[in-house]
Structure 1
């Protein structure tokens, strides 16, 4: 996600109302945030939680639990543990409390049935570990869905559809109310928007639309008037600027955070704790319907939100793992003792945890701001990193000194070079703080993957890049040879380098099964072409990338991600077996039920 999102969009204090200032220990005082345990109790509970989560059951405890029997037994379908050892399929699985008690044949599990045990008949369906999205801006997905209209490619695939949709939205609004929308895709929906087009929707109502890349936006003349943008405005601090036509007049385009904020401060309603709570509650329901049991928010959680998120995830929700932005690192000091990195533990009485610290190394390949070693196709432009290499080294060293792992957003291969240099200088290989990650790794080169393996660094791929932009990367941005190696999951398999798949929502649509399908088929939806067939992987490897390996990448591989005795009962029940349907039909499989910690939260 871009600098705008993490730096300004929903984190600027002017957008919030009713949120008290954080007290020195990091807790905020709004009603949403007040139910957290006291610091003393928090520490005591944290110690207990750290000793109880994710560990194999002691034989004595296993005997006691077996005597008590199972709360639930799942049987009658296909059960796929996705574990590195043991059988690939089992017949039955028993759950007691929040954990998996046992799994095996129906005969093995039958002895755990008591008069109180509930039998869940799978009726031929398929049970898997719950899905994990290891890079998704959960809070922003929730707030966008609550406050803005989605006008993206999936909803409006043509320019005509988009214009009709905007007119329909305009007709539903009260006079003077802003028309706010997001998810517009300039590559897939007919090029940049213009002030002329948006004035055609309305000259009186202010209109503001975010691009899906979150670096750019577009507005009509009424919005420019309210934002009070003078005709002679130049480049703003932070690089914000405004597009102009051949006549030198504004064309409606808005670039980067300092320019965006001129509109956001007028357009967005104030975000109250009640709005925040409602949006997150609705989000967790939606996310569970996609089979997600855990999401990781990298760099967009504010320290002041943590106590509220601890309360919000007490029960009935999915798990939320988070990392903080580099600039917010000191705000995490109050929470260090509760686990992070390789020892990421759940905060007591919640499904919330912390992992690492995030740096945004460059921009977006779609806007040619990802930093490359070779120019973009038919240009002399290579993009640019957000930080000089020596500055990046300083930042990574500071994160290491605080005891956190680092996650560095790198869309271009030049930025990956700088990131790996910085990681090697600060951490060396396989540090005890927990694995370091390269976020997106979109244009990683073969030698960079080998270097990642040597350092114990892992990539995570936004596989929706291939699904939506494979043709554009090939024909407009990089050419066939370079595009064929975008999001190179196949090379990772060949090299024995673990990796994960993510959505980066709201920068691409949510849904883990779309990621699996695309990793397996490498098919671009725009022209039905296969982009980089050599990088296609098996269903097994793709499923691991959204379950077991995704758990490892957020420091919770000992607790979730596979179906094994002693692990948390995070489960997803699918109507069909993804290993048996046609590869191009995987994303259409319906989710029947989603369970977190032995609690059914969907279905």
Structure 2
């Protein structure tokens, strides 16, 4: 996301070196699981059925687990024979449907921690940190909710931050509008895309954003910043966000946000999560590690470096780009790790902002935007390609996809590679011919099918038009061309709920209740693979996770119903009982109780960002780097 680099960098400064986040206390069940692994004990689990996601054995009635791995899969008799007479039979899963552990190919835990800490007023329902926030998809309702929230904000010295506003649902927003609604309170309205912000006078004064600052930005950033409107988007937002981010959350709120995301992922069955396009701050990584790395964390979390961040350090220097990328690859700890030789790049703007680069433009005459200008993108792409990296590319528009295709075709002409698995990420709009070329070039897709649910109905009327909207996220073309694909939520761009992604792809129902592009629906088999085995394949983890197969990590997601037996419209409502991670049982109910229990503050955490202004110089340095990059 465009804002993530600066937001994360600033938040990194909220934790001084050596400070840690309070970690979860191991349970008796944790110790039992570790003991079984250490002693080499074997446990046979029986269930109503196991959905293995292994094409050679799609279903099983039992599995055997030893040392955190699957050692047998099949009938109960087969598992007992393989496990030996000392094996223990466990009936925990009796009557339940167990599938290979869900793999979330693309989430943003820091961004989720920040957005869920704001006053959420969005176009869909959210379980936010301060409670359930129902959807509002029309202007009058949004304005009323915003007025109510502002009325409840009693401290005029503390900024009011809200996330979820969307101009195509909630009407126009401006600096003057916010001045009228809250003349004395600094207000930051964070767009649903997370790629835009609106600020009122009080917020501009608080953050020190003025005409002199805007004049000092690069050309592209200046074009995407409007001080009279208080509106900053894409490169413009990235440039000013170091000034805004310190006011979006306190250190304590940030810690709580990360802990919230842990519970959120777990209760939705996620056993492996990945963030492509991470950050370049070691203190920030240490803060993430403190929240996610302890053994009690119910999933493994992987990171992929953010190429544009490394490029900003020394633009157009290939040696520096690779050296900076490799520096971060050892920053993980425990249940967090970087995926070596993988990197995330960016082309065009956000689909939620309608800033993707589109062939034929937009029906209302506005224009898309580049997160990274094409020449800089191509330099990064060719550099990483030649170094043998797997490249994940944020792209939403079909005109943006032309830039990606041009780069990969040039790379394949110069230096052909097999099994490069270049990933087209998000996949908002693409022409059939583009998809065909992508498949022929060896590319794969990680799409967000929730775009159809959230946006296709409204975009048919505004900006995009009915024909292009019905072909949003064109998975039918992907299937027709035999391209490997996975799904992701990009949370908070969609809730991190794998079953909801499956539901969205199988049904393609819009929020308005219509089916958009039925020819692009996928089968349930394909959709479940897209959140398990094929998602693992997209990050080169299929040898370790993604299916219930002998020798792989014993990761499971336990469901109360069989997805094949419920009505397709009900798939997203299937309850998740819990998960297994490397042989350790993890019921959701127990984790939810633990999360709800009172917790002490992390030792040494600052109460507010304002207590750590000593890092301001570092923030300003990043802003200068961003301005330089945007002018390139």
TM range (shorter): 0.7 to 0.9
Query: Which residue among 137, 160, 173 is the counterpart of 1:179?
Result: 160
What 5-or-longer segments of structure 1 have no aligned partner?
A: 21-28, 34-64, 339-345
Query: Which residue among 282, 290, 302 is the counterpart of 1:321?
Result: 302
1:210 equivalent in structure 2: 190
How far residue 561 of structure 1 moved from its aligned partner, in angstroms, is 0.6
Alpha-carbon distance change, 175 to 292 in structure 1, aligned in 2, over 3 angstroms? same
Q: Secondary structure at the match of 2:558?
A: strand
The reply to whether residue 108 of structure 1 matches residue 78 of structure 2 is yes
| Counterpart Cα distance in 1 of 2:336 and 2:586 | 13
Alpha-carbon distance change, 70 to 465 in structure 1, aligned in 2, over 3 angstroms? same
How far residue 262 of structure 1 moved from its aligned partner, in angstroms, is 7.2
How far residue 290 of structure 1 moved from its aligned partner, in angstroms, is 0.8
Deviations 1:466-493 (Å, cap 9, x if unpaired)? Answer: 0100112322233232222221112211
| Counterpart Cα distance in 2 of 1:473 and 1:164 | 24
Alpha-carbon distance change, 386 to 179 in structure 1, aligned in 2, over 3 angstroms? closer
What 5-or-longer segments of structure 2 have no aligned partner?
A: 23-36, 125-133, 311-320, 589-632
The reply to whether residue 283 of structure 1 matches residue 261 of structure 2 is yes
1:83 equivalent in structure 2: 54
Deviations 1:302-341 (Å, cap 9, x if unpaired)? Answer: 35245665564241221112111113253332466x7xxx
1:60 equivalent in structure 2: none
Q: TM-score, normalised by structure 1?
A: 0.81
2:417 equivalent in structure 1: 431
Q: Secondary structure at the match of 2:91?
A: strand
Alpha-carbon distance change, 233 to 560 in structure 1, aligned in 2, over 3 angstroms? closer
Q: Secondary structure at the match of 1:593?
A: strand
Query: Which residue among 459, 462, 468 is the counterpart of 1:473?
Result: 459
Partners of 2:506 and 2:522 within 8 A in 1: yes
| Counterpart Cα distance in 1 of 2:199 and 2:367 | 28
| Counterpart Cα distance in 1 of 2:238 and 2:433 | 37
Query: Which residue among 150, 153, 159 is the counterpart of 2:120?
Result: 150
The reply to whether residue 257 of structure 1 matches residue 237 of structure 2 is yes
The reply to whether residue 499 of structure 1 matches residue 485 of structure 2 is yes
| Counterpart Cα distance in 1 of 2:564 and 2:167 | 35
Partners of 1:464 and 1:508 within 8 A in 2: yes
Partners of 2:506 and 2:527 within 8 A in 1: yes
Alpha-carbon distance change, 584 to 419 in structure 1, aligned in 2, over 3 angstroms? same
Q: Secondary structure at the match of 1:93?
A: strand
Question: More displaced, 310-319 or 257-266?
Answer: 257-266
Deviations 1:434-471 (Å, cap 9, x if unpaired)? Answer: 41111112111111211122121111111111010011
Map 1:42-57; keep pairs closer than 5 Å. none
| Counterpart Cα distance in 1 of 2:375 and 2:147 | 49
Map 1:309-388; keep pairs closer than 5 Å. 309=288, 312-317=292-297, 318-326=299-307, 327-328=309-310, 329=321, 330-334=323-327, 349-355=334-340, 356-379=342-365, 383-387=368-372
The reply to whether residue 458 of structure 1 matches residue 444 of structure 2 is yes
How far residue 387 of structure 1 moved from its aligned partner, in angstroms, is 4.7
How far residue 433 of structure 1 moved from its aligned partner, in angstroms, is 7.4
Query: Which residue among 3, 10, 13 is the counterpart of 1:16?
Result: 13
How far residue 388 of structure 1 moved from its aligned partner, in angstroms, is 5.1
Deviations 1:16-46 (Å, cap 9, x if unpaired)? Answer: 13434xxxxxxxx65579xxxxxxxxxxxxx
| Counterpart Cα distance in 1 of 2:372 and 2:493 | 22
The reply to whether residue 120 of structure 1 matches residue 57 of structure 2 is no
Partners of 2:224 and 2:237 within 8 A in 1: no
Partners of 2:158 and 2:185 within 8 A in 1: yes
The reply to whether residue 294 of structure 1 matches residue 292 of structure 2 is no
Alpha-carbon distance change, 378 to 159 in structure 1, aligned in 2, over 3 angstroms? closer
Deviations 1:164-221 (Å, cap 9, x if unpaired)? Answer: 4444544254342211122222223x22334455345532221112001122222333
Partners of 2:100 and 2:547 within 8 A in 1: yes
Partners of 1:242 and 1:259 within 8 A in 2: no
**Alignment length, in residue pairs?**
540
Deviations 1:332-351 (Å, cap 9, x if unpaired)? Answer: 32466x7xxxxxxx977435
| Counterpart Cα distance in 1 of 2:20 and 2:470 | 51
How far residue 90 of structure 1 moved from its aligned partner, in angstroms, is 1.1
Partners of 1:370 and 1:383 within 8 A in 2: yes
| Counterpart Cα distance in 1 of 2:91 and 2:350 | 46
Alpha-carbon distance change, 242 to 134 in structure 1, aligned in 2, over 3 angstroms? closer
Partners of 1:430 and 1:457 within 8 A in 2: no
Deviations 1:552-578 (Å, cap 9, x if unpaired)? Answer: 111101000111111111111111111
The reply to whether residue 70 of structure 1 matches residue 42 of structure 2 is yes
Alpha-carbon distance change, 491 to 456 in structure 1, aligned in 2, over 3 angstroms? same
| Counterpart Cα distance in 1 of 2:507 and 2:518 | 8
Deviations 1:504-559 (Å, cap 9, x if unpaired)? Answer: 1122222111111111111101x211111110111111111111100011110100
| Counterpart Cα distance in 1 of 2:55 and 2:418 | 22
Map 1:262-277; keep pairs closer than 5 Å. 264=244, 267-269=247-249, 271=251
Alpha-carbon distance change, 435 to 207 in structure 1, aligned in 2, over 3 angstroms? same
1:589 equivalent in structure 2: 574
| Counterpart Cα distance in 1 of 2:180 and 2:189 | 14
| Counterpart Cα distance in 1 of 2:373 and 2:106 | 25
Q: TM-score, normalised by structure 2?
A: 0.78
1:484 equivalent in structure 2: 470
Deviations 1:42-67 (Å, cap 9, x if unpaired)? Answer: xxxxxxxxxxxxxxxxxxxxxxx9x9
